Amino acid sequence: MLRGGVAGGIGIVVAGSLTAVADPAMAHVTRRAAGYGPVVADPKGLLALPRGFSYSVVAQAGVTRLETGEPTPSDADGTAFFARGRSRALVNNHEIDGGEDYPVPALDGLTYDPGARGGTTTIDVSARGERVREYVSLAGTHNNCAGGRTPWDTWLTCEETEQRAGGRFLKDHGYVFEVDPFDRAANREPVPLKFLGRYSHEAVAVDPRRGDIYLTEDAGGPNGLYYRWTPPHGHHGGKGALRELALGRGGDTAGRLRAMRCSDRGRHVRDLSEATKPGTRYRVSWVDVPDRDARTTSVRKQFTDDQVTRSHKLEGAYWGDGGAYFVASFARGDDGSVHEHDGQVWFYDPRTETVTLETIFGVNPDPDADTHFDGPDNITVSPHGGLILAEDGDGLSHLFGVTDAGQAYPVARNDLNNSEFTGPTFSDDGRILFANIQSPGHVLAITGPWRHERPGHGHGHR
């Protein structure tokens, strides 16, 4: 169950805390079995799972219906589960850029830009994960990719674009919006959180103590950046607080938006792909963004390579274990990366101002092998220990876990097509793992004999 990952792509070797060792000399070491065994082909041809597990379809693009009668929109992406009292809901991004079959309906009061077809839907579910109803919670946004939940139980949805107004687009795009999973009135008249910058947003993680927001950028030419937004003095997070800040005087530039700069014993690190060994730790400092709304120049292009640390395909983000996890999906030499890999998982520790490479996947030698994983994208910390990652790579597509001891194992395989998995998120009781197959667009609920993975000696992942 260990995927290809040694420097030349021979096979992953794991040791320590959430760690894959890029050392061929360690390849002979055997370790305790991880996970739930191999996945079993689905007779229905949709989702292969380990024995004892089952799934149900919560929603399906073009098949299930919104409460207003339109079909469930296409391209489900970043998702989060919320519970309040007896109410349970999924907020579901739709990464729609215009050519998809089923747009998010542009409903009155919920639409930012009627020329854009993306947005979010909210799916109310039962305690067993069954769909109760689905409705539009944000419309008129563009290419809603991932995002992140806040400590006050709202969803920050991210536009992965730098689209300017023009043609069918009446407004600029590339912003973050806040969505309340239960209070529909709070979602009316959408407000872009411009103080978080205008760029190809991927995902966010929010520090519940400080209120800092960490953001990934999925962009190339040059590669994207990792950002931190620090709230202004006196700002206190909570429902409606970000919206109020955005609408207030100077709201477009409230707080400080800065880009990450890493150093290794005084040496500037230009690109995160320089790190090839898990446990690699860099000191972090932060550099102010000159023009966060990118009026003339894309934010990432406002810096020279010796000012910041870049990374190709910065994707998923999740707050857990007192810090921010974030993912670099893959790197290749022709995209400006120093070394090639098929995925890195990093952990930023705000207490020590460091980032640590927790896991690295070597270039996948066989994307069609069921024991090889590549291109991690969305990420969640599992209540059962370790991490769950959604694969967005070549060949077969999986949900896979990584234990605290650093072992990778399959959770699910897409038996329908090679479309990516997106949006892994657990119910509040840990019994249900929700996830999506992006195309043609399935929202799924997975149940089974989850068990706690024995922790290693790292962050804990609990």
As a three-state string, the secondary structure of the chain is CCCCCCCCCCCCCECCCCCECCCHHHCCCCCCCCCCCCEECCCCCCEEEECCCEEEEEEECCCCECCCCCECCCCEEEEEEEEECCEEEEEEEECCCCCCCCCCCCCCCCECCCCCCEEEEEEEECCCCCEEEEEEEEEEECCEEEEEECCCCCEEEEEECCCCCECCECCCCCCEEEECCCCHHHHCCCCCCHHHCCCEEEEEEECCCCCCEEEEECCCCCCECEEEEECCCCCCCCCCHHHHHHHCCCHHHCCEEEEEEEEECCEEECEHHHCCCCCCEEEEEEEECCCCCCCCCCHHHHCCCCCCCEECCEEEEEEECCEEEEEECCECHHHCCCCCECCEEEEEECCCCEEEEEEECCCCCCCCCCCCCCCEEEEEECCCCCEEEEECCCCCCEEEEECCCCCEEEEEEECCCCCCEEEEEECCCCCCEEEEECCCCEEEEEECCCCCCCCCCCCCCC
- Which of 42-56, 238-252, 368-382, 425-439 comes out lowest in average pLDDT? 368-382
| pLDDT tens digit sequence for 90-137 | 999 999 998 899 999 999 999 999 999 999 999 999 999 999 999 999
| pLDDT tens digit sequence for 70-93 | 999 999 999 999 999 999 999 999
Structural domains of the chain in order of their starting residue, each with its CATH number: 24-447 (2.120.10.30)
| pLDDT tens digit sequence for 178-209 | 999 999 999 999 999 999 999 999 999 999 99
Q: Is pLDDT above 70 for 379?
A: yes
| pLDDT tens digit sequence for 262-288 | 999 999 999 999 999 999 999 999 999
Q: Is pLDDT above 80 for 458?
A: no
Q: What value does the mean pLDDT of the chain take?
A: 90
pTM summary value: 0.92
